[in-house]
A and B are shown apart, each in its own frame.
Chain A
Amino acid sequence: MQVNEYKPLIVAFCCNWCSYAGADLAGNNRLAYPADVKIIRVPCSCRVNPMFILRAFQRGADGVIICGCHPGDCHYTSGNYYTRRRMAALFSMLDFLGIERERTRVEWVSAAEGAKFAATMNDFAQKVAALGENKRLEDLRCKK
């Protein structure tokens, strides 16, 4: 029996208009998800620079998830379409470097989808926890 259960650290970038409101709704409805998830508010999912994601990993995050409005519903018309392309390319690249693909995710959560937000976070946290601590992104260069 493990006494000290491993707790992953998860950074969630949420767009102000849909997903952040969706997270608020999850709160309003008291839908629990792990406290490991820490939310950073951004105006739009397209504000998320790949550097923020890598920085989070660098500083010890075990998983990073980006949430935005559903495609077609972006408050800024097209922001999430750019997010979709950028993150598809970036995540594919991280996979190419041998980093576990389950550590990154993009999910569209509308302001009405409090339940989806909580469910997504539960699922993501569970998957990241199963992977264990993020070592690869932290120390790729580690001397042989």
Chain B
Amino acid sequence: MQRVGVFVCWCGSNIAGTVDVQAVSEALKNEPGVVFSTNYQYMCSQAGQDMIKNAVKEHRLTGIVVCSCSPRMHEATFRKTAAAAGINPYMVEIANIREQCSWVHKDMLTGTEKAIILGKAAVAKVNLNTPLIPGESPVTKRALVIGGGIAGIQTALDIADAGFPVDIVEKQPTIGGKMAQLDKTFPTLDCAACILTPKMVDVAQNENIRIFSYSEVTEVKGFVGNFDVTIKKKARFVNEDICTGCGACVEKCPMKKVPNEFNLGMDNRHAIYIPFAQAVPKVATIDPNACNMLKNGKCGLCARVCAAGAIDYKQKDQFIEEKYGAIVVATGFNPISMEKFDEYAYSQSKDVITSLEFERLTNAAGPSAGKLIRPSDGKHPHTIVFVQCVGSRCESCAEKGKEYCSKICCMYTAKHAMLTRDKYPDTEVYVFYIDVRTPGKNFDEFYRRAVEEYGVKYVKGMVGKIVPEGDKLKVQASDLIANRQLHIDADLVVLAAAIEPDKSARPLATMLTASMDTNDFFTEAHPKLRPVESPTAGVFLSGACQGPKDIPETVSQAGAAAAKVIGLLAKDKLMGNPCVAQSDELMCNGCSTCANVCPYGAISYEDKEFRMPDRTTKIRRVAAVNPAVCQGCGACTVACPSGAMDLKGFANSQIMAEVDAICK
């Protein structure tokens, strides 16, 4: 049995005006466990707190009930008081007799009556309280960034600048991501390479950053501050440490008909390749599916010309295990496949291209050296039609498109249209739109410039059908403002394809037990207030893996994620919230229901041996809650049919006792 002390606060006249505090403290004296009950003008004042401390000593109290203002106001205060008096801070319960009683009820009788009942509930609860001690866990002072695009690069640089070591895992042979493929960037039109490549070099030169390129995360164990991660470094058949990136091997490689993924297959590369001139690390990679030497042992030319002797045909995948305190997901996005949009004839005509392909076509380092040509015949296009929202905001055809707005298309389409008119004033450029969405600094001005200064023809309405005919593309579309159908003979059609999270995100989310929405975007811990954190503690979100976003937004989010990581790594120890779920192994069925509802992936299962009454042993699967990860919502406690799962601080028995006290 607890020895409970009850302290009723007047809060000046705030409480005492509507509640007979004397009657309350008298009434609560008779409650089970109560050995001391008093009232005072301001419990939260120094004098009030001293009164509590003295009473704890004098009456050997083990539990405290304060009838006062909302626990949201002074729970922390009175917990500190309890700790100072030498009892566990979680042995304090607050009865809210101000905000939820004296302030909302007018007459003394009802106010007093209710205050007594609320006090009784708090006493009933505190009788069942147990001392709780927040768990402590150490923090590994190293961060992992998954994905080496602009999001991952910026996050890694910011963390490294704060003095913490960071590893970047990038599945491609080079970091840089989508931004490296872009030509110019809106709304300022600086060239993507000019602003990105210096950052890539910074990453390569930063002592705190390691790059695992051509690598993937294969396993994640552990929890916030203590992740154990396995990284698979895929064999690139070139010794990274000695390759100088001179490119002699690439020149000599006889296998030159491999579709170049960096240029989206619009030209070819060699079997041994460096994705682009400014690649980081600037190291060659052999494509095992194309290399003759690796396929059938015939060739070996690259090894012969390599002055550094870096070629190693026998290289194997390597698995690296490393410990991290925090993980940042920056897996980025891809344009969706256009194959299913038959109405736009993407599969039928080479001259129907996606916007990313258009980027490569206009990029000086691209397949056409920056000259805008029709991919089919290399001719200069005169009439160009841009179609926005291809696959975006597409609710009815889930297997084709995405129901969300891809956010970046309006701006890059305006950019493409503007740049085309700027460089080739002889072209006629149409943009078909449903809405033009330009919420960003200098964004709308940018789009208006495309219309007003560059004479881009924006037509409200969608293209319904594109039919290749001769060397033209017959575009049939609607002009909703003029209320008529348009027929345009286009030379080139550019589709603003919706963007989707990278395919690697889903398996990664499973590994991280980080939650995702139905579109495979990572969910935030709070959509407004914690936008760069995953609900899974220690996992942070950077860039388009969380939702479509442009470069400025990605960079800000990357910085924000880095700040959160730095905040975490700066701590030596993590103090947990002690009010977490706990499973009683003896009653747990191991049915996984609780893990299904846990938003944080805090619950895992293990096979445990139990001694049975008949001295046999039995191995059963049981749940275990990781207190460092659990946030204490209690969803699992209700999902658990056997009642094995309970929440410390808000236990079934405690809440039930409150219910009983109120209903008596």
Contacts and interface: CB of A to CB of B under 8 A. Distances in A.
A binds B: yes
B660 A28 contact: no
Given A24-B100, A78-B599, A51 B633 contact: no
A93 interface: no
Interface stretch (A42-50, A101-109, A123-131): A42-50
Instruction: Identify which of B99, B121, B579, B639 gathers the most chain A CB atoms within 10 Å of its CB.
Output: B99
Contacts of B650: 42-43, 47
B635 A46 contact: yes
A42 B655 contact: yes
Contact of A28 (B99, B111, B527, B599): B99
A49 B100 contact: no
Given A11-B662, A48-B638, A75-B526, A27 B103 contact: yes
B121 A76 contact: no
B285 interface: no
Interface string A33-62: 101001111111011111110011001110
A38 B662 contact: yes
A73 B652 CA distance: 25
Contacts of A118: 104
Interface residues of B, number: 48
A43 B103 contact: no
A24 B102 CA distance: 11
A126 to B, nearest CB: 16
B663 A11 contact: yes
Contacts of A72: 527
A44 B658 contact: no
Interface residues of A, number: 45
A6 B72 CA distance: 33
A52 B638 CA distance: 10
B113 to A, nearest CB: 7
A43 B100 contact: no
B599 A55 contact: no
A80 B138 CA distance: 32
B70 interface: yes
A27 B121 contact: no
B116 to A, nearest CB: 11
A88 interface: no
30 contacts: A11-B659, A11-B662, A23-B100, A24-B70, A24-B96, A32-B106, A33-B104, A35-B101, A35-B114, A38-B114, A38-B117, A40-B121, A41-B71, A42-B634, A43-B650, A44-B633, A44-B634, A47-B633, A47-B638, A49-B638, A52-B659, A60-B664, A72-B527, A73-B527, A76-B633, A77-B523, A77-B525, A77-B535, A78-B635, A79-B635
